[in-house]
Amino acid sequence: MGFDDIFRMAGVGILLALLHVFLELNNKSEYSFFISVTAFIYFSIELLRMLKLFFEVIEEYLLWLYEM
């Protein structure tokens, strides 16, 4: 995980936020709701992926300590 992941998530977040506002202003609130749900699912999946990477790093570190 690096800055490219953070910038990708920020870009997707800004894009979905702009799309949400655009749909709200054009009285398409049902589509706007689906954009919000899609954003929630996307960021939840990304968060789970980052947590998986975090715990893999912790596991490698603990194995390294155990081998010492």
**Domains of the chain, residue spans:** 3-67
Residue 43 has what pLDDT?
Answer: 93
Residue 28 has what pLDDT?
Answer: 87
Residue 5 has what pLDDT?
Answer: 85
CB proximity list for 35: less than 8 A, separation 6 or greater? 16, 19, 20, 23
Mean pLDDT of 30-51: 92
> What percent of the chain is modeled with pLDDT above 90?
71
What's the first-to-final CA gap in the chain, in angstroms? 27
8-30 per-position pLDDT tens digit: 999 999 999 999 999 999 988 88
